[in-house]
Copies of this chain bind each other. A is one copy, B any other.
Amino acid sequence: MNKHDQEYIKHKNKSMVLDVIRNRRPISRADIAKITGMSPTSVSRIVADLCQAGIVKETEQFSSGVGRKATLLDIDASSVLTVGIELDKTEIKIGVVDFDGRIAAEHTVSGANHDKAPQAVADTIAAKLLELVRDNGINRDKIIGVGIGIPGIIDVDSGTVVFSSQLGWKNVAFLKLVEERVGIPTTIDNDLNVKALGESIYGHVNESRKTVLIGIGSGVGSTLVIDGEIYRGETNIAGEIGHFNFDPNGMLCECGKRGCLQTYIAEYALIQEANNFKKVSRLSEIFHEWRAGEPWAISIIDRACTYIAVTVSNVVCMYNPDTIVLSGNFIEQHPHILEAVRAKLDDFIWEPFRGTFKLVLSKFAGKSVMIGAASLALNLRLDYELQTS
């Protein structure tokens, strides 16, 4: 057993103590020791760390029963806030979120972010966050972390946007830019990753142990969350179904390869196809014609639903989840889309997978990246406190 393993065990012990307090609050140190099998000394040391970090507090209640009365411990829910930010092509959404995933205050900044200098975007975030905190009388000291969800490939460890076609950024060390402006520990991650995390922690799938979120919009992607943890893969790009190959001789994708799933269902692909028949520039126009019963629009939406059903089926084959959350612009354009996909699913789902999963819509819809980013920040900060305190 090397040093790394010892650190790991120490960290696990701290997580275990925090989990016991979370689930059985209020609770005494002696009871924590009894439940965890740890020595009273170890428990006291860890509790002291957690109190100092402001996560745990001593209550004014005492344990009942025989012997010396012991002070009970509780989570200090109100002392811990995190900020969740969604940064995409056209908006910045900022929210202050509490320990239980409730939004205490929020603000949306509209305006194109594509090709904007990262410094300018970070400036806007810092200024608007300051404003939000001030205008809502929030105690800034209670904010322990900032989480940002960004469309694209994110190197989580270094806090770098490796590539984001939506923002037009490549290798931007964005975490640092934000952190040095807001002065609060910051973390960045892929938008679908945080969205999936938020849905699995606070959404209506919070009983789910294996949630997959599938996002269908300007790009196509998915994220698997196993027992409340994002399955990132080796380089944080697991679930990149958009570049899933369907046909070696298919249409050319923006990635330079042929036949990727994106060429069948991404927004730009549908718009491009529609233009073979009629000049349109937005997905909502296709849906408008679809509702009006235009055959060409029905054909486009119908084919997209077929490939979404195929995608759900393929994701189920790979991940065998208990829940699939569908999200994104295409899915949210019309309430009937979910039903259309469900109806088609019967044609594709392999017998042994029938009845093994629920197919639902995102609970938080437009706010899910914000809430998810905040929950990622909370998890990471708690983890960090546990590791370093």
Contact = CB atoms under 8 A, between A and B. Distances in A.
Nearest to A17: B37
A360 interface: no
A357 interface: yes
A319 B246 contact: no
Interface string A215-241: 000000010001000011111111111
- What is the count of identical protomers in the complex? 2
A107 to B, nearest CB: 33
A5 B153 CA distance: 36
Interface in A1-40: 1, 5-6, 9-10, 12-13, 16, 19-20, 23-24, 33, 35-40
B37 A20 contact: no
Contacts of A226: 231
Contacts of A351: 255-256
A42 interface: yes
Interface residues of A, number: 68
A313 interface: yes
A356 interface: yes
A14 B102 CA distance: 38
A247 interface: yes
A290 to B, nearest CB: 20
A51 to B, nearest CB: 18
Nearest to A222: B318
Given A37-B9, A244-B314, A238 B350 contact: no
A114 to B, nearest CB: 20
B233 A321 contact: yes
A206 interface: no
Nearest to A35: B6
A162 interface: yes
A273 interface: no
A1 B13 contact: no
Contacts of A179: none
B35 A38 contact: no
Nearest to A253: B350
A33 to B, nearest CB: 7
7 contacts: A1-B24, A9-B35, A9-B36, A37-B42, A234-B356, A240-B352, A318-B318
Contact of A241 (B23, B209, B318): B318
